[in-house]
Structure 1
Amino acid sequence: MEKEEKNYTGIIPGQEEGSIITAESHVETEDTELAQALFNTAKERLLDVNNWQHVAGELLARFQLTDAAGREVPSPVQEGYRFKLDIPGPGTEAGEGYDWVEVEAVETFDTADIESVAIRVRPASNPQTPEEEVAHFYSDESTSTFTVTREKNKVTAAVYDRNIKPNTDSERLGDKLRNTLAGAVGIGIFSKVQWKNLTDGLIQAEAT
């Protein structure tokens, strides 16, 4: 059974088809003040996408923020930016060696007892080429939503992958084979491992 989503921002999409991957880590502090301080630290780490591999320690992919044209930019993340992902093994021809996702939404929620921030991304084309083909091992029906949430004295970091399916639509045979294999490994192992490393790192007392 899936854990209840921390969807206070309302940007986690409903599950319609494909696979679900959920990674979640939480810390309960002695009081609300400590939880607020930890939430603020975790929020900064979440929005600093370029530093995720250092926060997570054993993160298997390297994440680089770019603007809509694919030019590398510093954190924090913004809606309309892209993630350029460098994952182990061969990349796609369409992505020129990388996998790409677009930042669809960055939202916050804030009340006295609950604070939350979330980023939703979706597989996208390589913005550095004129082609519109999705350059990612998941299809563009798939999404990943990254969240940090404080509920009173409990702080939770989570990643919600929804509607996950391998991207087999490429007209390039090499990309189709690569995406089929990488998508299957991603669903079975890769995403679960790297997302749990990330959620652990976001809320730990000291960044790695």
Structure 2
Amino acid sequence: MKPKKVPGIPSQVRGGFQDTESIKRFSSSEEVDFKFDILKDRFFEINSWNNYSQGCISKFELCDNAGESVSRSPKIGDYIKILLTKINNPEIEDYHWVQIDMIDKSNPNRIMLQCRPSKLPGNEFAGKTIHFHSAASTSTFVISKGNDYIKMAIYERNQQPNKNTSFANSIKNIVSSVIGTSKIQWKSLADGLININ
């Protein structure tokens, strides 16, 4: 299987990739427009993503460029702090960090938000990438609509395990990258976000 060629999505050069898509169809364009407006609100409420995910135990938290939690729409340069498993009193090493490097609202029928694995906020020139994928990887979240549907998709490109860390974490990152743990999480998130009754 080859990665889908989607406008605005980085080219697949090396490593792994994943295409995760969920579509919901409706009987009229008016209903599509109404549901898409709801989907846009959900899409930009990153702190609430885990509430919409069906069976997803990940927790998403939007943070500013200093790493402080914020309750607003995301901006380029913001971070998303992700806890992939349910842990009581998690430590800093239990989280994964990505930084938002692109938000595209230029098409009224499509919105894109792209992230890359990152270092801890405020530590731009030192420290290590805090994610199981390397900083060359991208995750692009896309919501879109057509005449009779709304769609939520996550396109991951150039997924390589992050080896810029301790030996133990390098092994853990290789395992996580190989088994593709994020695919299940992303499918649950995509299905949940477009499940608008």
Which residue pairs with 1:120 in the alignment? Answer: 114
Which residue pairs with 1:203 in the alignment? Answer: 194
Closer, same or farther in 2 for the Cα pair 1:125/1:86, shift >3 Å?
same
Q: Cα RMSD (Å) of the superposition?
A: 2.1
Structure 1 residue 46: deviation in Å? 1.1
Structure 1 stretches of 4+ moved >4 Å: 2-6
- Bigger drift between 23-32 and 102-111 goes to 102-111
Structure 1 residue 128: deviation in Å? 5.2
Closer, same or farther in 2 for the Cα pair 1:32/1:6, shift >3 Å?
farther
Closer, same or farther in 2 for the Cα pair 1:59/1:6, shift >3 Å?
farther
Matches within 5 A, 1:84-123: 84-88=81-85, 96-110=93-107, 115-123=109-117
**Given that residues 6 and 149 in structure 1 are in contact (C-alpha distance below 8 angstroms), is that contact kept between their aligned partners in structure 2?**
no
Closer, same or farther in 2 for the Cα pair 1:39/1:2, shift >3 Å?
farther
Structure 1 residue 183: deviation in Å? 2.3
Which residue pairs with 1:192 in the alignment? Answer: 183
Distance 1:131 1:88 in 2: 27
Which residue pairs with 2:30 in the alignment? Answer: 33
**Given that residues 116 and 139 in structure 2 are in contact (C-alpha distance below 8 angstroms), is that contact kept between their aligned partners in structure 1?**
yes
The structure 1 residue matched to 2:144, chosen from 141, 149, 152, is 149
Distance 1:54 1:62 in 2: 9
Closer, same or farther in 2 for the Cα pair 1:5/1:95, shift >3 Å?
farther
Structure 1 residue 75: deviation in Å? 3.0
Distance 1:174 1:3 in 2: 31
Distance 1:168 1:3 in 2: 24
Which residue pairs with 1:182 in the alignment? Answer: 176
Unpaired stretches in structure 2, ≥5 consecutive residues: none
Distance 1:31 1:14 in 2: 35
1:65 aligned onto 2:62: yes
Closer, same or farther in 2 for the Cα pair 1:167/1:192, shift >3 Å?
same
Which residue pairs with 1:53 in the alignment? Answer: 50
Closer, same or farther in 2 for the Cα pair 1:83/1:25, shift >3 Å?
same
TM-score with structure 2 setting the length: 0.89
Which residue pairs with 2:162 in the alignment? Answer: 167
**Given that residues 134 and 160 in structure 2 are in contact (C-alpha distance below 8 angstroms), is that contact kept between their aligned partners in structure 1?**
yes
**Given that residues 54 and 191 in structure 2 are in contact (C-alpha distance below 8 angstroms), is that contact kept between their aligned partners in structure 1?**
no
Closer, same or farther in 2 for the Cα pair 1:168/1:4, shift >3 Å?
closer
